[in-house]
């Protein structure tokens, strides 16, 4: 029986994502000067105010206020009328040293003996639905908001956009779990109050989104995905009416509140732990990346068309509690999912230190993850420069999204006889 599936995304200007980006910018700055930094940093943003709290163990001193302001300005909160802008908002830091009770479970005599930074279970997922092995509804939701941000910065075709926005895409699937059409698209975007006639203003916004944004998004897609767009899509553009008050002034933001946007849009599963603001000793983050790496390489190697991988840990314990696999009946090998999981344990070392080394996680690579999803992104090398308050400068080449590499496909094929 045909069914509908929906995923959402939020923009870099969404209050929760502002908080995520500040937390991850702090992570990057600590790691740039002290790669062994241990950081767990939470951010709260509200009207005219930023609060930083958490635990840090590092050899470097940073101007956390400047880092936060730089992030806010880069996102686009640069006007006093937003009631939240990088140059004038207050920034309160309540960051303190990491607990020794936690640290003793992580730091050991040798790096290989490093224990997990917390207990919990983490999930990774991959599907053949898109070229980047991500669920289609989430992939489209992200693309819509990325292009909306490009249009906002161009300030040319549409000149009234503000940073806060959300999208949602609903897709109809057939009995074979194949997407057949886009049923609906929801988009709410913050905007200037540019017309005293609200009905006329909302009509222009809807026309611009459908007539300018959506064609630009479609142009980026493969023909078979373009074919899912149709004249019967049910559009809901700013469905509650005008959206002038937004961002942290309209809704308080907190680190870690968009974990489904960050991962698979509701497909697969999620262990519940957020990513942003955590250094890679926290397996909430590193093991979620590792399981995505596993699932993507397994699907790309032809083991199955869809895969969910779960791993679980105990705080301070080196080896994971276990690995679980679900191939959703799409397996191409003559093995049970349990037998596939056992082979995964032989191919991929899931000790925390091994994950850090394999995915190069002690680089300042996290700011780019903090908006538009941590998974399905482009693996590339970028150059970054960081400065301390005393003007010490370091420039680094940083490899982003290492968990998206298909560097284990040959090993998987050999192990499974493919």
Q: Which residues are annotated as a binding site?
A: 14, 16, 42, 55, 98, 164-166, 242-243, 251, 257-258, 274, 278, 282
* Dist. CA 333–CA 418, nearest whole Å: 8
Decide: 326 and 304 in contact? Cβ < 8 Å. no
φ/ψ (deg, to 5) at 405: -70, 140
Span between the terminal Cα atoms of the chain, in Å: 33
Q: Which residues are annotated as a binding site for ATP?
A: 14, 164-166, 242-243, 251, 257-258, 274, 278
CB-side exposure of 51: number of CA atoms within 13 Å?
8
Helix 409-416 / helix 283-301 crossing angle, nearest 10 deg: 60
How far from 290 is each of 158, 208, 357, CA to CA, in Å? 40, 40, 11
Q: Which residues are annotated as a binding site for L-methionine?
A: 55, 98, 251, 282
Q: Which residues are annotated as a binding site for Mg(2+)?
A: 16
* Dist. CA 351–CA 14, nearest whole Å: 35
Q: Which residues are annotated as a binding site for K(+)?
A: 42
Helix and strand numbers, DSSP H then E, in the chain: 13, 13
Starting at the earlier edge strand, list the strands of the sheet with 90-97: 90-97, 49-57, 38-46, 253-254
Instruction: Using alpha carbons, select from 408, 409, 406, 399 the residue that is nearest to residue 369.
Output: 399
C-alpha 256: how far from its chain's center? 10
Instruction: Give the dihedral sign, CA 168/172/176/178.
Output: negative
For residue 135 the two structure tokens come to: 């669920």
Question: Which burial class, exposed, middle or buried, applies to 142 when counting CB atoms under 10 A from its CB (0-12, 13-18, 19+)?
Answer: buried
């Amino acid at each position: 029986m045909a069914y509908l599936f929906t995923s959402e995304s939020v923009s870099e200007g969404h209050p929760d994502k502002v908080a995520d980006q500040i937390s991850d910018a702090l992570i990057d700055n600590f790691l740039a000067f002290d790669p062994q930094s241990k950081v767990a940093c939470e951010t709260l943003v509200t009207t005219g105010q930023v609060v930083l709290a958490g635990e840090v163990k590092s050899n470097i001193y940073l101007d956390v206020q400047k880092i936060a302001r730089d992030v806010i300005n880069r996102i686009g909160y640069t006007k006093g009328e937003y009631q939240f802008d990088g140059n004038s908002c207050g920034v309160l830091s309540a960051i303190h040293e990491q607990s020794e009770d936690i640290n003793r479970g992580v730091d050991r005599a040798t790096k290989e003996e490093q224990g997990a930074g917390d207990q919990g279970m983490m999930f990774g997922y991959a599907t053949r639905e898109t070229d980047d092995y991500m669920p289609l509804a989430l992939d489209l939701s992200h693309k819509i908001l990325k292009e909306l941000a490009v249009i906002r910065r161009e300030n040319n075709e549409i000149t009234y956009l503000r940073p806060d926005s959300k999208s949602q895409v609903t897709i109809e699937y057939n009995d074979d779990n194949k997407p057949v059409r886009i049923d609906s698209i929801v988009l709410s975007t913050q905007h200037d109050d540019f017309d005293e006639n609200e009905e006329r203003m909302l009509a222009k916004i809807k026309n611009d989104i459908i007539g300018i944004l959506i064609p630009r998004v479609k142009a980026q897609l493969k023909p078979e995905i373009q074919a899912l767009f149709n004249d019967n899509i049910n559009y809901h553009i700013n469905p509650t009416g005008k959206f002038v008050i937004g961002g942290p002034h309209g809704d308080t933001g907190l680190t870690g509140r968009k974990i489904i946007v960050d991962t698979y849009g509701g497909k697969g599963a999620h262990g519940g732990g957020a990513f942003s603001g955590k250094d890679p000793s926290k397996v909430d983050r590193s093991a979620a990346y590792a399981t995505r790496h596993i699932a993507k390489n397994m699907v790309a190697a032809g083991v199955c068309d869809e895969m969910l991988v779960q791993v679980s840990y105990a705080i301070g314990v080196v080896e994971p509690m276990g690995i679980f696999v679900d191939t959703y009946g799409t397996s191409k090998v003559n093995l049970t999912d349990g037998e596939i999981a056992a082979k995964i344990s032989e191919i991929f070392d899931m000790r925390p230190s091994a994950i850090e080394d394999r995915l190069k996680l002690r680089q300042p690579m996290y700011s780019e993850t903090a908006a538009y999803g941590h998974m399905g992104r482009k693996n590339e090398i970028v150059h970054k420069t960081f400065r301390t308050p005393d003007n010490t400068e370091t420039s680094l080449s940083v490899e982003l999204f290492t968990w998206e590499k298909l560097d284990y496909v040959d090993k998987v094929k050999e192990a499974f006889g493919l």
